[in-house]
Amino acid sequence: MVNKIAYILLAIFLGSLGAHKFYSGRIGLGIVYLVFCWTCIPGFLGVIEGIIAAFKTSDMNGNIAV
């Protein structure tokens, strides 16, 4: 469970570096995003994941399951 607002902001602005993956505890995917950041593909995926996370419902504390 991660904070929804923090995850969305990290995914949109630092998604190309995999910051949202490191934040959510998915270190392996974060490293993959970091290695392939020069291709711009992780940047597009980060924006898409941020948009998807925006539509997920959060709990009472503002956390979402990723």
For residue 33, the tally of other CB atoms under 10 A from its CB is: 24
2: nearest Cα among 10, 14, 48, 34? 10
pLDDT digits (tens, 9 = 90+) for 31-56: 999 999 999 999 999 999 999 999 99
Q: What is the pLDDT of residue 66?
A: 86
Query: Torsion-angle region of residue 25: left (phi > 0), alpha (psi -120 to 50) or beta?
Result: left
Q: CB–CB of 58/4 below 8 Å? A: yes
* Dihedral sign from CA coordinates of 28, 30, 33, 34: negative
- Residue 26 pLDDT more than 90? yes
